[in-house]
Amino acid sequence: MILSDAQKKIQAEARDLSLKEIAPQAARVDKEGSFPLDGLNKLGAAGFLGLTVPQALGGRGADSVSFVLAIEAVARSCASTALVFLTHSLVTRALAVAGNDEQKQKLLPAMIAGEKLGALAVTEAASGSNSLAIATKAVADGDSFIVNGSKALITGAEQAQVYIIVLRTDRAQTPLDLSAIIMEKGTPNFSFGKKADFMGLCGASNGDLVFKNCQVPKTNLLGPENGYMQVGPAYASHSMLGMAAISLGIAQAAVDAATEHAKTRLNGEKPISSYQGIQFQIAEMTTSLAASRELTYSAAQQLDSQQPPSPLPLYMAKLNATEMAIDVANKALQVYGGTGYSRELPLERYYRDARGLTLHFSNSEKLKEMVGKMLLGLPPI
């Protein structure tokens, strides 16, 4: 894909910022499991935390391809930072797309500046990727809802200040009747449960949210009651693109490391790049990455240009790119040999981070099911 000048500018800005401010902290963030707040603050100061928010609302008004380019650039330095960046961006996009004027004015300025972070809470322990099985419930009580339930493995759980909770109200009649409600940190009886101890993406602060008789104004509904399945895809679609973009960034970092190592690592007096087996690995890695990148960029482009956009390219991009990143990271580690297995090098982090991406925001098996159904003319849900 040929990028526009505006897209190239955003790509270069994100790459420069990531190399200077985020990459030096990536190993520490992973090892300590520390939240990458400093990097996120830098992204906010540079305008990236409101990247796709319209300019009229204080954002940069960038398109979906630019969003992918920025996420990819950050992930190339630190996948944990990129994942929190993605999740926050889903919330700002949701407010811009589905929020009313009061919600936008109250929340977006601070979120675009990075003063408040957002988290999207869909997953539950008993439902996983199946949103139709969501059990968290909001019961009407005068001008408020009383919310009870819990969410699991939410990115930025304890670090966020603004949460979009996908749940059912007492007016829901079918499994498709889902609603989204805004809840802020500090709401009485809103607490945090277990923090996840993941093998990768260690700085993303994934954890559980617990709601016990939380009173939330009805004016906090995001979009119409029972209308999440109609308006949600307009912002949740970026989750597929974002996960694909993080995969591209990890894979590019792995390819870069393996290629440089092959050129400089000597076996006797010859660089290992002179061996056909190494050449095959580099060729396979780079070709797979290039194919996934084109698929992802194309999906992003059609999201903005086709009305209504088809979710099929988004599902395919996420499925392909996340599986590709695991394979590329594995091959890169193999090029390094035994030293690649050491925690002193980032290769094992690339592999661990990539492995988690096939599980976040719909796992590979769920995506295969939805893609297969759509290709066969069946309802994806």
Span 232-375: which CATH code? 1.20.140.10
- One of 1.25.10.10, 3.55.10.10, 1.10.540.10, 3.40.50.2300 is the CATH number of 5-116, namely 1.10.540.10
Q: At residue 306, does pLDDT exceed 90? A: no
Indicate the pLDDT class of residue 356, thresholds 50, 70 and 90: very high
For the purposes of burial, counting CB atoms within 10 Å of the CB of 260, is it exposed (0-12), middle (13-18) or buried (19 or more)?
exposed
pLDDT tens, 82-101?
A: 999 999 999 999 999 999 99
Residues of the chain with CATH 1.10.540.10: 5-116
The distance from CA 55 to its chain's CA centroid, rounded to whole angstroms, is 22
Going by pLDDT thresholds of 50, 70 and 90, the confidence category of residue 130 is: confident
Q: Report the chain's mean pLDDT, rounded to a whole number.
A: 96
Q: Report residue 212 as tokens.
A: 């016990």
With b for 16 or more beta-carbon neighbours within 10 A and e for fewer, the 130-148 pattern comes to ebeebebbbeeeeebbbbb
pLDDT at 117: 98
Q: What is the pLDDT of residues 266-300, one digit of tens each?
A: 999 899 999 999 999 999 999 999 999 999 999 99
pLDDT given for residue 230 in this prediction:
87
Quick one: pLDDT band at residue 235, thresholds 50, 70, 90? confident
Whether residue 295 contacts residue 241, with contact meaning beta carbons closer than 8 Å, is answered with no
Q: Look at strands 162-169 and 118-121 and give their pairing.
A: parallel
Write out the two tokens for 90: 């889903």
Residue 42 corresponds to which tokens in the numbers above? 């830098």
pLDDT at position 236 = 83
Under 8 Å CB-to-CB from 338, ≥6 apart: which residues? none
3-state helix/strand/coil string of the chain:
CCCCHHHHHHHHHHHHHHHHHHHHHHHHHHHHCCCCHHHHHHHHHCCHHHCCCCHHHCCCCCCHHHHHHHHHHHHHHCHHHHHHHHHHHHHHHHHHHHCCHHHHHHHHHHHHHCCCCEEEECCCCCCCCCHHHCCCEEEEECCEEEEEEEEEEECCCCCCCEEEEEEEECCCCCCCCCEEEEEECCCCCEEEEEECCCCCCCCCCCEEEEEEEEEEEHHHECCCCCCHHHHCHHHHHHHHHHHHHHHHHHHHHHHHHHHHHHHHCEECCEEHHHCHHHHHHHHHHHHHHHHHHHHHHHHHHHHHHCCCCCCHHHHHHHHHHHHHHHHHHHHHHHHHHHHHHCCCCCHHHHHHHHHHHCCCCCCHHHHHHHHHHHHCCCCCC
Kindly indicate the confidence band of residue 307, based on its pLDDT and cuts at 50, 70 and 90.
confident
Residue 128 pLDDT > 90:
no
pLDDT attached to residue 88:
98
Q: For 213, phi and psi rounded to 5 degrees?
A: 55, 45
Q: Are the beta carbons of 74 and 247 closer than 8 angstroms?
A: no
Q: What is the pLDDT of residue 274?
A: 96
Q: Give the model confidence (pLDDT) of 64-82 as tens digits.
A: 999 999 999 999 999 999 9
- Round to whole Å and give the CA distance between 283 and 277: 10
In this prediction, residue 239 carries a pLDDT of 95
Each residue's pLDDT tens digit, 159-179 = 999 999 999 999 999 999 999
> Is the CB of residue 69 less than 8 Å from the CB of residue 13?
no
pLDDT band at 234 (very low <50, low <70, confident <90, very high): confident
* Proportion of the chain above pLDDT 70, given as a percent: 100
The CATH number that domain 120-227 falls under is 2.40.110.10
5-48: per-residue pLDDT in tens? 999 999 999 999 999 999 999 999 999 999 999 999 999 999 99
Instruction: Report residue 1's pLDDT band, with 50, 70 and 90 as the boundaries.
Output: confident
Residues 201 and 70: their CA atoms lie apart, in Å, by 18
β-strands 266-267, 207-217: how paired?
A: unpaired
What is the pLDDT averaged over residues 105-119? Answer: 97
Query: What are the start and end residues of each CATH 2.40.110.10 domain in the chain?
Result: 120-227
So what's the pLDDT on residue 36? 98
Domain with CATH 1.20.140.10 in the chain: 232-375
- Is the Cβ–Cβ distance between 152 and 159 less than 8 Å? no
Q: How confident is the model at residue 233 (pLDDT cuts 50, 70, 90)?
A: confident
